[in-house]
Structure 1
Amino acid sequence: MEHAAPQGIYSTQAAVRSYECGADGLMKPETVLHWFQEIAEAHASSLGFGYDFVMSRGLAWVEVRLDAAINRLPRWKETVELRTWTAQETPLLARRNLEIRDALGNSLVTASCLWAVIDVRRRRPVPLNRHIDSFPDTPCEKTVAPVSMDTSGLQPETREWTAERRDTDFNRHINNAAYLVWALEALPESWQEEHELTGMHLHFKKETHAGESMKSLLFLQESATCHHLMQGDELRAEAVLEWKTATSSANI
């Protein structure tokens, strides 16, 4: 079920499927990003400027930044509500806020992100009002503040891999959720067993394509990790993840 809720908020309900969860029975963090991408596109399409509209004009929506706060991740089989609303922030950027709520209306995940429209051929951003007549007048203030991490004096741990075709999306570049997976894969297993993710802050700098040789520089602190996702000496994306000490494992 999906509909445009009051005050310009677009909402839909969905149940968490088994393949969207990890061994703990909780939704994988990258699944949160996939869900957000889906409802963002559905809402944009309902407003007349979704995927089909921009692609017909040689354009594409690309996410520039995402900041998310996690109270808890949804569980397998849990039915939750996804909510989103959007507004133009600058001539080149649109802000989109998103939220996942449980059956009682409690906020599980809150996110605020920035999107741009690019010319597919030139790979450059274009002014939003050149192709989009108007955005909703829904208030869309930043709901999650960006977080940075001072890495001076910290020695990074390095991991290398090759970007794979399976992570390529409609825009013919590596999907943004893959950067989060890469960041999480760089963490020691013991770290992930002893900590719970409470915040995700991703800044996407430049596109990555399948076949490129990648490396991550991981900086660890007590309650945060910083991940520089590199191609050679070029920073493609930066992730700052916030953590708390794990309390107990979820039951499937």
Structure 2
Amino acid sequence: MNEPISLIRPVPESAFSMEFVLRSTDTDLHDRLHLSALFSFLQEVAYFHAEKLGLGADQLARYRSCWILLKVSLRLDGLPSWGSTVQITTWQRGVRRLVFIRDFVLSVNGRPFAIVSSEWLVADLQTHRPQRPDRLLPPELVPPLTEPCFTLPEQHPARQNFSAATGPVARRSAYYSDIDRNRHMNNTRYITWLTDALAAWKSYDPDAAQPRHQLRELTVQFISEALPGQTADLYVQPQDGPFGSFLFEARRPDDPDGRPILRAAGILESSQDRDRTGSPDDQADEI
């Protein structure tokens, strides 16, 4: 059984929180929070906190810059269901070289069900090339890195030679509805690709009373952009490590270098294991 999520030090007093009541459109066929909806909530909370700090999208635009998400690592202890109220608390943990670190804790009824750490670049608004924050921004907007409030077992999505015999599990394209204000596919849409690929890989049964597998840990690296009209092949395969470990890549089929758009690694656990701990809503009711 997995240890419940806990913090090793208190969340900073400067942390920012928002609440979301889960709508039916935020949840899947089992009434559980969609992973893509979770990422959407993270993006919204990060935006509003960045704006409060003086680093919102409109504020960065004055420097002809924008935020680009590089990497997200998370651990899940179940997913809440339709109608639940989710509180998301976030704080900026400081800057490491070019990268801003932002952490999150997600809770239902005061019980954490997810911890998340993310890495962001300040990039040129047109070219999306990384900018040095210490040269671009006032010193008070580039704080030093501080200690984390939780430990996160990070997965390592290293480059892999996916088996040519198995081929991609799916193919997806970046359509108009996937494109955000930065003129590329939004990070939440990549997560939809990922969950669709995992479902295809595990041959999910839409008539099952509950899913056979649930995500426990995930690290996603956003490597290059998917632009309007571009197509990607989605690959999944097992990875050495704990039972349920997997690797994922989205690649352009016409890229001669085989450079991925994104790469991910994670751990799926069986629903039987999850049943031993219950959902976040059930756990919260036990408090």
2-structure distance, mates of 1:153, 1:207: 21
1-structure distance, mates of 2:157, 2:230: 27
Please tell me whether residue 175 in structure 1 is matched to residue 186 in structure 2: yes
Please tell me whether residue 27 in structure 1 is matched to residue 33 in structure 2: yes
- CA deviations 1:37-91 (Å, max 9, x no partner) are 0000110000111111012322110110000100011211111211001132323
2-structure distance, mates of 1:122, 1:129: 19
Q: TM (normalized to structure 2)? A: 0.78
Relative to structure 1, the CA distance from residue 93 to residue 180 in structure 2 (aligned partners, 3 Å threshold; closer, same or farther) is same
Instruction: Pick the aligned partner of 2:154 from 133, 146, 169.
Output: 146
Compute the RMSD of aligned alpha carbons.
2.5
2-structure distance, mates of 1:190, 1:237: 22
2-structure distance, mates of 1:143, 1:86: 16
What is the CA-CA distance between 1:123 and the residue it aligns to?
1.9
Please tell me whether residue 223 in structure 1 is matched to residue 240 in structure 2: no
1:101-140 equivalence runs, <5 A: 101-103=107-109, 105-133=110-138, 134=140, 135=142, 139-140=146-147
Match of 2:66? 60
- CA deviations 1:95-130 (Å, max 9, x no partner) are 000111111x21111100100000022321111123
The residue type paired with residue 226 of structure 2 is T
What is the CA-CA distance between 1:18 and the residue it aligns to?
1.1
Relative to structure 1, the CA distance from residue 219 to residue 139 in structure 2 (aligned partners, 3 Å threshold; closer, same or farther) is same
Please tell me whether residue 190 in structure 1 is matched to residue 195 in structure 2: no
Please tell me whether residue 165 in structure 1 is matched to residue 186 in structure 2: no
The residue type paired with residue 188 of structure 2 is A
Aligned-residue identity in percent: 22
Q: Could you tell which deviates more after superposition, 61-70 or 13-22? A: 13-22
Match of 2:285? none
What is the CA-CA distance between 1:185 and the residue it aligns to?
1.4
Secondary structure at 1:186 match in 2: helix
Secondary structure at 2:96 match in 1: coil
1-structure distance, mates of 2:104, 2:204: 28
What is the CA-CA distance between 1:178 and the residue it aligns to?
1.5
Secondary structure at 1:42 match in 2: helix
Extract unaligned runs of 5+ from structure 1: none
1-structure distance, mates of 2:185, 2:152: 25
- CA deviations 1:175-218 (Å, max 9, x no partner) are 11121211221232535831011122100111111101211222
Relative to structure 1, the CA distance from residue 153 to residue 116 in structure 2 (aligned partners, 3 Å threshold; closer, same or farther) is closer
> If you compute each CA radius of gyration, which structure gives the higher value, 1 or 2?
2
The residue type paired with residue 200 of structure 1 is L
Q: Could you tell which deviates more after superposition, 84-93 or 215-224? A: 215-224
